Amino acid sequence: MSKSIKLITLITVLALSALATAAVFTGFCLMPDDEVVSAPAKRQFDFWLGEWDLTWPGEQSGLPAGQTGRGTNSIKAILDSAVIEENFVDLAPNSLRGMSVSVYNQRLGKWQQTWVDNQSSYLDFVGEFKDGKMILSRQATTKDGKEIIQRMVWHNIAKNQLDWNWEASEDGGKTWKVNWQIHYTRKK
């Protein structure tokens, strides 16, 4: 094969690879399409933006019964307001610290969130805002191999306060057990 044919073949392969990569990224919504996303859908998590003081029943995070757990959460819109970034801190010594990023996926018509923390957790959620609540859920497997559904529920949403629940279902979502309740109060 001549050098010119090899060069043309190489350029063609590279061009096709670039087109295929662009098609994959577009298909997975890594390239925003403002015509597809309605403004209200992109703003459904705006209630959560801001600086928050948090409280919860202490026994839900390993404190003695009767004590109150305390933390902070800083929620910001980043990357041209297309991504919601969370930074959570449990104020007890040597406790949970974590962060999440959330984005509205216009192709799915749903929110997606990824959570990571100082305990090496990696959790991914999908959900939506409906009936005054934001609910994001995921399938999970317990340490003993049981399939469960985990979900986060933001509810009782007001301008300066809201409630958040961490819940689990062992029966496919028919019933839910609340494992952690956090009350948010907006910092002044």
Q: What DSSP letter does each residue of 107-145 carry, written as one string?
A: TTTEEEEEEEETT--EEEEEEEEETTEEEEEEEEE-TTS
Tell whether 80 and 164 lie within a shared domain: yes
pLDDT in tens, 109-120: 999 999 999 999
12 band by pLDDT with thresholds 50, 70 and 90? very low
In angstroms, the CA 73 to CA 79 distance is 19
Tell whether 120 and 48 lie within a shared domain: yes
What share of the chain has pLDDT > 90, as a percent? Answer: 71
pLDDT at 124: 97
Total number of domains in the chain:
2
Number of alpha carbons in the 13 Å side-chain half-sphere of residue 183: 7
> Which domain does 27 fall in, by range?
1-31
Whether pLDDT at 17 is above 60: no
Tell whether 24 and 44 lie within a shared domain: no
- 3-state class (DSSP) for residue 96: coil
pTM of the model: 0.78
Tell whether 136 and 46 lie within a shared domain: yes
Whether pLDDT at 7 is above 80: no
Q: 51: which residues sit within 8 A by CB, 6+ positions away?
A: 72, 73, 74, 75, 186, 187
Tell whether 14 and 44 lie within a shared domain: no
Degrees to nearest 5, angle at CA 67 with 61 and 73 = 55
Q: How many CB atoms lie within 10 A of CB 100?
A: 21
> Of 30 and 127, which is predicted with more confidence?
127
41 band by pLDDT with thresholds 50, 70 and 90? confident
pLDDT at 63: 84
pLDDT in tens, 49-68: 999 999 999 888 888 889 99
